[in-house]
Structure 1
Amino acid sequence: MQTKEVIDHIVNWLKDYAANAKMNGFVVGISGGIDSAVVSSLCAKTGLRTLCIELPIHQSQDQVTRAREHIEGLKKKFANVSDLEVDLTKTFDTFTKSVPDAEESPKVQLSLANVRARLRMTTLYYFAGLHNYLVAGTGNKVEDFGVGFFTKYGDGGVDLSPIADLLKSEVYELARELEVSNSIVTAAPTDGLFGDSRSDEDQIGASYDELEWAMQQAEAGKNEEEFTGREKEVFSIYQSRHRANKHKMVPIPVCEIPVHLK
């Protein structure tokens, strides 16, 4: 990959989109992970106002530390970068107390994890509305179009997606060129939605390198019977996730009424 040229292409694309939309800049939720670090860096390089927002909800300290270090580094490099912290922990706790009690189960945990993502989305759009900014998405190609590892109307609720055509390995290439801190580059990817140390790999059952391989095999028309051992297992995980989350990757279905019924 021509990393510098890709960075320039994305930065120019962001500038053109904002200009055509008559928007003043970008807002990015900063998690302490690689994707948000890269996207915020790309937005900062446009020269347009870039608001980085931390949105902790019972967040682990290492994620908070990485996020703050990244933001401080960006502010030193770019005069157009500003930041805010909006602690949504009490808001989340109030929500959990407001809904009917339910048994602690995987479904309840997942639903509440998605609530965290949707509270963050709502907050990002609040500030975007105040300042006439665009909400920049942080999803990469494997997450957005491979296994659908994002929350619908949560971190999937954005105005534009600068890195959604890049595989996770390519995002790491951009991170190194953009001089993203080593603590972020080497940290295990996590969505941070469960308030514990579980990684994306723990949740999915495969690493991003494995998922990239599986995505490439699926796009080449391969099927599960062509593989054995770990490759077969990973391919099955990919296919299962892709099928289950397809609804996140396509436009909302519209029931079209036949003309003769109108």
Structure 2
Amino acid sequence: MQVEKTVDHITNWLKEYANNANIDGFVVGVSGGIDSAVTSSLCANTGLKVLCVEMPIHQAQSQVNRAQEHIAQLKQRFPNVSDVRVDLTSVFEEFKSVVPKVDSSAQLDLSLANTRARLRMSTLYYFAGLHKYLVAGTGNKVEDFGVGFYTKYGDGGVDLSPIADLLKSEVYALGKSLNVPESIQVAPPTDGLFGDSRSDEDQIGASYDELEWAMKMKDEGKNSNDFTGREQEVFKIFIRLNTVNQHKMKPIPVCKIPVDLL
């Protein structure tokens, strides 16, 4: 990949889209991870206004520190960047207090994790509406089109996706070129939705490098019988997640009414 030219291409794409939509800038949720750091940096490159929104919900301090380090650096480098911090912890706790109580389970943990993501999406759109901005998505190609590792109508609820055609390794390459803080470049990727230290790899069962390989193998028409050992295990993980998460990747199904019923 030609990193510098790719940076310029995405920057120009963002700027052209915003100008054509008669929009004043972008809002980006900044988590302390590489994807949001690269996305916000690309948006800042356009020269249009960029609002970085930090939205902790029982967040690990290490994630908070990385997010704040990135935002401070970005504001120092780009006069068009501003930020706001909205601590959604109390909102999340209030939500839990008003829904019916259920026994603790893996499904409850996942539902609450997705709730966190959806609270953040609502917050981003609040600021987008307030300032006439677009919500810039932070999902990469493996997450968005490979394993569906995002929350439907959470971090998947965006106006445009500047890095969704980039593999995770390519996002890291852009991050280095864009001078993303080293602390973010070396941190294990995490969605930060469970209030603990689990990484994306812990949740998925495979690293992004492994998932990129499996995605390429699928595109080449391979199947699990073509592999053994760890490769077969990773390929099966990829295929399982790609299959069960198709509902996220495909358009919402619409029930078409037959003409004779109209």
TM-score by length of 1: 1.00
Match of 1:203 in 2: 203
Match of 1:225 in 2: 225
Match of 1:104 in 2: 104
1:4 and 1:258 map into 2 onto residues whose CA distance is 52
Match of 1:75 in 2: 75
CA deviation profile, 1:147-195 (whole Å, cap 9, x unmatched)? 0000000000000000000000000000000010110000000000000
The one-letter amino acid paired with 1:175 is: G
2:31 and 2:141 map into 1 onto residues whose CA distance is 18
Q: Which stretches in structure 2 are left out of the alignment for 5+ residues?
A: none
1:99 and 1:237 map into 2 onto residues whose CA distance is 33
Q: Aligned with 1:52: secondary structure? A: strand
Matched, 1:26 2:26: yes
2:207 and 2:230 map into 1 onto residues whose CA distance is 12
Report the alpha carbon displacement of residue 86 of structure 1 after superposing the two structures with TM: 0.2
Match of 2:147 in 1: 147
Match of 2:259 in 1: 259
Matched, 1:248 2:253: no
1:180 and 1:242 map into 2 onto residues whose CA distance is 30
Match of 2:239 in 1: 239
CA deviation profile, 1:48-86 (whole Å, cap 9, x unmatched)? 000000000000000000000000000000000000000
2:10 and 2:258 map into 1 onto residues whose CA distance is 42
Matched, 1:158 2:158: yes
CA deviation profile, 1:177-236 (whole Å, cap 9, x unmatched)? 001011000000000000000000000000000000000000111001110000000000
1:143 and 1:117 map into 2 onto residues whose CA distance is 15
Alignment size in residue pairs:
262
Report the alpha carbon displacement of residue 22 of structure 1 after superposing the two structures with TM: 0.6
Match of 2:45 in 1: 45
1:107 and 1:207 map into 2 onto residues whose CA distance is 23
Matched, 1:10 2:10: yes
Report the alpha carbon displacement of residue 261 of structure 1 after superposing the two structures with TM: 1.2
The one-letter amino acid paired with 1:94 is: E
1:211 and 1:102 map into 2 onto residues whose CA distance is 34
Q: Aligned with 1:134: secondary structure? A: strand
The one-letter amino acid paired with 2:87 is: D
Match of 1:193 in 2: 193
TM-score by length of 2: 1.00
Match of 2:58 in 1: 58
Q: Which stretches in structure 1 are left out of the alignment for 5+ residues?
A: none
CA deviation profile, 1:97-138 (whole Å, cap 9, x unmatched)? 111111110000000000000000000000000000000000
Q: Aligned with 1:4: secondary structure? A: helix
1:31 and 1:17 map into 2 onto residues whose CA distance is 24
4+ residue stretches of structure 1 with deviation over 4 A? none
The one-letter amino acid paired with 2:116 is: R
2:35 and 2:26 map into 1 onto residues whose CA distance is 15
1:230 and 1:80 map into 2 onto residues whose CA distance is 47
Aligned Cα root-mean-square deviation (Å): 0.4
Matched, 1:95 2:115: no
Report the alpha carbon displacement of residue 258 of structure 1 after superposing the two structures with TM: 1.3
Q: Aligned with 2:156: secondary structure? A: coil
